[in-house]
Amino acid sequence: MAGHRFSSGYPAADRRADFAETLMLSGDAPAATEVLRGALDLVPDWGAGWFRLGELHEAAGDEAAAVEAWTRAVEIDPADPFGAGVKRDLLRKVSIVETLPPAFVELLFDQYAPRFETSLLNKLEYRGPSIVADALARCDVGHVARAMDLGCGTGLLGDVLRPLCGWLEGVDISSGMLAEASVKQVYDWLEKVDIATLDIPDRPYDLIIASDVFNYIGALEQVIGWCAGAIAPLGQLIFTVELGDDGVMLQDCRRFTHSESYVRTLLRDAGFARASLSRVVLRRDRGQDVVGLCVIASRSGGMLDRMGDGEDAIPA
């Protein structure tokens, strides 16, 4: 996320930032940092510029200067739309981040929205819709009255879910993603909201889906607690996570992984009686499979009994 793409509001500083990018593209990171620092001397409260300066210092191998620049970016805007604090803590190997700043996730996906589906489907071989379709078939979902697509994005799951739902609702933190989803005209209701702040609805959902969403949230206690309170007694929760070895871990790519034991404990504590956890390939990244879990959970045992998967009782 290059700082020069977000104008400082001062043309002379923007010109220096553009020149810094030219130097960076030529491979001269030290010179690029010097030029961009000159731009920041003109506009010292330019948060995007400080974030980019941190990236340039990191590329030049000066970790201490990168940490200093990212700290300054967070001081300027504590909402941290560029994720500077996360970058800083990852570089310092400080494992204190349990979630990503909502402003960062919103900005990330607002920028990403116009090319989101092309990138996921054509470049990353994203398998979310087929994974969810398979999960729905496995648990024999018939027609449901109400369904929620948590973090619906551009509505990639809309075509999968629409034939099964009397009412299909989607929420997302990014207005850009929701604009793309609205074009598909498959949702009955779309709303911009941070899913970590949802209220329990007056009418419960029979089906809640969250595909490729929780890897941007981190600690899932609050959102899974919401799911437990928002789902009907015989309802079903289906979600995916990127698989990790130990609890909740933030990766350098600024996505979280979740371990199988963490997910099982979380579901048990939230009151989900049974769950099926299956290993899946979520997508490809740099030529490598990204392995995750597809989770199907129920507050009662009925859904999993129909699947014949009695070994996945949460208390065990």
Taking alpha carbons only, the member of 232, 252, 234 closest to residue 242 is 252
pLDDT at 184 over 80: yes
Q: What are the residue ranges of helices labelled H in the chain?
A: 11-25, 29-42, 47-59, 63-76, 84-91, 102-112, 116-118, 128-138, 158-161, 175-184, 221-230, 260-270, 302-307
Taking alpha carbons only, the member of 300, 313, 147 closest to residue 238 is 147
Cα–Cα distance between 105 and 100 in angstroms, integer?
Answer: 7
- Reported confidence tier of residue 56, pLDDT bands at 50, 70, 90: very high
Tokens read off for 200: 């329990």
303 close to 233: Cβ distance less than 8 angstroms: no
46 close to 40: Cβ distance less than 8 angstroms: yes
Taking alpha carbons only, the member of 15, 16, 81, 17 closest to residue 47 is 81
Taking alpha carbons only, the member of 29, 24, 50 closest to residue 39 is 50
- In this predicted structure, what is the pLDDT of residue 301? 55
Least confident of 120-129, 219-228, 280-289: 120-129
Cα–Cα distance between 97 and 188 in angstroms, integer?
Answer: 35
215 close to 244: Cβ distance less than 8 angstroms: no
Cα–Cα distance between 214 and 291 in angstroms, integer?
Answer: 14
Domain architecture of the chain: domains with CATH: 11-94 (1.25.40.10), 111-299 (3.40.50.150)
- In this predicted structure, what is the pLDDT of residue 308? 42
Instruction: Write out pLDDT tens, residues 268-295.
Output: 999 998 899 999 999 988 888 999 999 9
- In this predicted structure, what is the pLDDT of residue 79? 92
Q: Tokens 């997910």, residue?
A: 263
End-to-end CA distance of the chain: 45
- In this predicted structure, what is the pLDDT of residue 180? 94
- Reported confidence tier of residue 92, pLDDT bands at 50, 70, 90: confident
Mean pLDDT, the chain, whole residue set: 89
pTM of the model: 0.82
Q: Which residues contact 25 (CB under 8 A, 6 or more apart)?
A: none
Highest mean pLDDT among 2-6, 75-79, 136-140, 303-307 belongs to: 75-79
- Reported confidence tier of residue 117, pLDDT bands at 50, 70, 90: confident
Tokens read off for 163: 């034939």
